[in-house]
Amino acid sequence: MGVEFIYPEFEVVRNYDRCIACRVCERQCANEVHFYSEERGVMISDEAKCVDCQRCVSLCPTRALKIVKSDSTLRENANWQNDTIKEIYKQANSGGVLLSSMGNPKPLPVYWDKILINASQVTNPPIDPLREPMETQVFLGKKPSRIERGKDGKIKCELPPQIALSLPVMFSAMSYGSISYNAHASLARAATELGILYNTGEGGLHEDFYKYGKNTVVQVASGRFGVHEDYLNAGAAIEIKMGQGAKPGIGGHLPGAKIVGDVSRTRMIPERSDAISPAPHHDIYSIEDLRQLVFSLKEATQYKKPVIVKVAAVHNIAAIASGIARSGADVIAIDGFRGGTGAAPTRIRDNVGIPVELALAAVDKRLRDEGIRGNVSLVVGGSIRSAADVIKAVALGADACYVATAALLALGCHLCRTCQSGKCNWGIATQRPDLVKRLNPDIGSARLVNLMTAWRHEIMEIMGGMGINSIEALRGNRLMLRGVGLNEKELEILGISHAGE
Amino acid sequence: MIIQGKGLSYRDINDKLRTADKEITVRGCLGQRFICAGMSDVSVTLEGVPGNALGAYLNGAGITVNGNAQDAVGDTMNDGRIVIRGSVGDAVGYAMRGGSIYVKGDAGYRAGIHMKAYKDKIPVMVIGGKAGSFLGEYQAGGVIVVLGLGTSGRKIVGNFPCTGMHGGKLILRSDCRDIAFPDQVTARPATDQEKNEIDRYVSEYCRLFGGNKEEMMDHPFTVVTPDSKNPYKQLYVAN
């Protein structure tokens, strides 16, 4: 108390006319906000522990609870806002680096929301997706730049390995450790049912999930956790993680407290030992070094798996992507600065990197200008929130999108942004068995399938509106996009005209 | 079986290794990368100089190089044995989790970084000569031994060894008075029990490469271990 006191961010509002003191809220809250007072015979709350995850609100049988933002007010001004002041207090109290979860919350431009999509009128009729066939399938991997014929004059049909996706979306990397077994089970099963891929992240692949290998991207990060021969051969593709949009330029650090039981086994490191992924791969200091890792992975898997190189969207992304496209990689994944994370230093998350919309447009243009666009497929993430974002990304040049936060929301995440505590009441970002079991993979996978099925319908409907019946015909088709409220430079980088032009 | 490596690409060599006998000699290696990548049940002798990433993701195979090797030997190796009858380049044994690497001569920069151990998998890397800077950076498990043979009194390890080390141990055949270690590790003379362990590694080294074991053991040994498995615990405050 005293100088260290920070007023709680949320208030628990309990309607005592409705509360029957059934203590569901108490049992549901891993943060121990709610408790029963024997003395007074009522439920009481300690709102200082509340993270606004809405678990108690959602499960209260009499709808007696709501959580509201506290209106206790610091004397803010335009320069010193509430969060800015409280962050100073937290650091003065602890001496610690601020650690946050999920994507950048700052009011920086979301270019998706400033881009509008075209539709056909009169001269070029729209297509009705309910009546006519629509193709949303995409293939990721190197595409030959010209037709080659054998000595017998026949066209050579062998292609480098390709990933087939029923729609241009994949679930992006979230490690087992940062999220739970049941969350991984839900993602793996949904990806299999949908004909798309999910991604192990850098925490290895649990033995139970090898059977979903055809729909799995296995990741190789600087810590190389859980990476071995069987793992590399288990997936449909291998992703080298060079960077992450939420924390470009820094490594990962899963605290020892979360390295328990299965997580330890899957990462193949001892229990309670920190899992540190260094910021760089210490064997990669150049595109030539990257090429070496790409080809060592291809060699170990006998050229059967496409290799994805994932990088964060940063200032020189076009030049970086140009290098990666020459490294032998089959796919480049670009993660924008709004991408989510289980934990990242606040300052990095909120201040480092660039929007993926601009990065994508710049990379696609650069690769086309250099005549190497066919060397690689482009996948973008961070953050793709809807079918409209997917359409806009494809029209800007993406082959597919990575989706993670939206997938977690489908599983029950309420974006309370305290993943780093390991006390996720929705059973997602936790390893506590009593919490993990709250996420039922049957329900979780069904909800993910629902979400993606809905997106697929929306994608088809928007495509139909444009008079396009194949997603391949939309890729890089920037004529289908117009900007609103963007300046000339932004339009130039995005390669689109302003609305009305 | 003997393969003439001259003029063959690494793909050719690996294809032959995958399909040929269990005992193979490759003559005339000249810079072919990725030899034996991910392989599990062959025993390969290489003559000449194999290229980078020799034995990457090695999964139980045995490799002997009658000469020097280049960078990234045994990258993310899971099991098996690599014996180098010469020196190795940079980043040998990066993130190796199991098996052993014996190097007769020197190792370059960043040897054994991010080496880990898991259950019965305790990787061992023995370097006969000296090791470059950043030895055992981020080491999370396993054993790295540097014997410093032939260094004639000079430092047997470069700068910044053990930065970020949080598991395993580093054994140096030196009193280490001339070597600076970071704060989060403890360097101390080897105990008698550890001497027994060291004796095993040195015996194996002498068996492979020759040398006088008694002479090698009659020398101060320093053992470096991390103070904590969680070196970065106090650094953060939830926001």
Q: Are residues B135 and B205 in the same domain?
A: yes
Contacts across the A-B interface (CB distance below 8 Å): 138
Q: How many domains does chain A have?
A: 2
For residue B110, give the nearest of A96, A220, A282 by CB distance. A282
Chain A residue closest in CA terms to B18: A302
Domain at B114, CATH number = 2.160.20.60
Q: Does A6 reside within a domain?
A: yes
CA angle at residue B103 from B99 to B105, to 5 degrees?
170
Q: Are residues A315 and A264 in the same domain?
A: yes
Q: Does B10 touch chain A (CB under 8 A)?
A: yes
Q: Are residues B186 and B221 in the same domain?
A: yes
Residue A319: both structure tokens together: 């030049």
Q: Does B70 reside within a domain?
A: no
CA dihedral A458, A464, A468, A474 (to 10 degrees): -20
Q: Are residues B148 and B217 in the same domain?
A: yes
Q: Which secondary structure element, helix H or strand E, spans residue A22, and what is its range?
A: none
Using the beta-carbon criterion (under 8 Å), do A283 and B59 form an inter-chain contact?
no
Predicted confidence at residue B234, as pLDDT, reads: 64
CA distances from B204 to A78, B59, B211 (A): 69, 21, 11
Q: Are residues A8 and A69 in the same domain?
A: yes
Q: Which of A268, A301, A307 to mutate to test the interface with B (most CBs of B within 10 A)?
A: A268
Q: Does B169 touch chain A (CB under 8 A)?
A: no
Give A137's DSSP letter.
-
Q: Are residues B223 and B188 in the same domain?
A: yes
Find out whether A358 and A111 touch, Cβ atoms under 8 Å: yes
Using the beta-carbon criterion (under 8 Å), do A228 and B57 form an inter-chain contact?
yes
Predicted confidence at residue B228, as pLDDT, reads: 82
Three-state DSSP string of A241-275: ECCCCCCCCCCEEECHHHCCHHHHHHHCCCCCCCE
- A275-277 and A252-254: which strand pairing? antiparallel
Reported confidence tier of residue A253, pLDDT bands at 50, 70, 90:
confident
How far is the alpha carbon of B215 from chain A, nearest alpha carbon, in Å? 36
Reference A393, options A197, A190, A138; nearest CA is: A138
| Contact residues, chain B, for A94 at CB < 8 Å | 237
Q: Are residues B163 and B220 in the same domain?
A: yes
Between A202 and A317, where is the model more confident?
A317
Using the beta-carbon criterion (under 8 Å), do B76 and A228 form an inter-chain contact?
yes
Which of residues B43, B61, B79 is at a domain's end? B61
A108: CB partners within 8 A, 6+ apart: A337, A338, A355
Q: Does B237 touch chain A (CB under 8 A)?
A: yes
Predicted confidence at residue A272, as pLDDT, reads: 86
Using the beta-carbon criterion (under 8 Å), do A97 and B237 form an inter-chain contact?
yes
CA angle at residue A332 from A326 to A338, to 5 degrees?
140
- B167-172 and A34-37: which strand pairing? unpaired
Query: What is chain B's Cα-based Rg?
Result: 18
Predicted confidence at residue A254, as pLDDT, reads: 79
In one letter, which amino acid is A22?
A: C
At A55-109, the pLDDT tens digits run 999 999 999 999 999 999 999 999 999 999 999 999 999 999 999 999 999 999 9
| Contact residues, chain B, for A90 at CB < 8 Å | 237, 239
Q: How many domains does chain B have?
A: 2
Find out whether B226 and B144 touch, Cβ atoms under 8 Å: no
Residues of A contacting chain B (CB within 8 angstroms): 87, 90-91, 93-100, 220, 222-224, 227-229, 232, 253, 255-256, 268-270, 272-274, 276, 278, 282-283, 292, 295-296, 299-301, 345-346, 418, 420-421
At A357-371, the pLDDT tens digits run 999 999 999 999 999
Residues spanned by the domain of A417:
138-147+166-498
Residue A447: both structure tokens together: 């909800």
Predicted confidence at residue B20, as pLDDT, reads: 76
Domain at A357, CATH number = 3.20.20.70
Q: Are residues A353 and A486 in the same domain?
A: yes
Calpha distance B147→B208 (Å, rounded): 14
What would the mean pLDDT of A49-54 be, rounded to a whole number? 97
Predicted confidence at residue B239, as pLDDT, reads: 86
Using the beta-carbon criterion (under 8 Å), do A99 and B76 form an inter-chain contact?
no
- Return the percentage of chain A with pLDDT > 90, whole number: 88
Q: Does B92 touch chain A (CB under 8 A)?
A: no
Domain at A90, CATH number = 3.30.70.20
Q: Are residues A59 and A185 in the same domain?
A: no
Q: Are residues B4 and B114 in the same domain?
A: no
Residue B88: both structure tokens together: 């190795």
At A338-397, the pLDDT tens digits run 999 998 999 999 999 999 999 999 999 999 999 999 999 999 999 999 999 999 999 999
Q: Are residues A290 and A377 in the same domain?
A: yes
Q: Are residues B222 and B115 in the same domain?
A: yes
Give B76's DSSP letter.
T
Give A156's DSSP letter.
P
How far is the alpha carbon of B214 from chain A, nearest alpha carbon, in Å? 35
What would the mean pLDDT of A146-156 be, rounded to a whole number? 92
Using the beta-carbon criterion (under 8 Å), do A292 and B78 form an inter-chain contact?
no
Q: Are residues B35 and B98 in the same domain?
A: no
Span of A21-25, A154-158, A331-335 with lowest mean pLDDT: A154-158
In one letter, which amino acid is A419?
A: C
| Contact residues, chain B, for A87 at CB < 8 Å | 239
Reported confidence tier of residue A428, pLDDT bands at 50, 70, 90:
very high
Find out whether A365 and A378 touch, Cβ atoms under 8 Å: no
Residue A176: both structure tokens together: 């087992």
Q: Does B42 touch chain A (CB under 8 A)?
A: no
Using the beta-carbon criterion (under 8 Å), do B230 and A273 form an inter-chain contact?
yes
Using the beta-carbon criterion (under 8 Å), do A232 and B97 form an inter-chain contact?
no
Crossing angle for the helix pair A441-466 and A387-396, to the nearest 10 degrees: 50
Q: Does A131 reside within a domain?
A: no
Which residue ranges of chain B lie beneath pLDDT 50? none
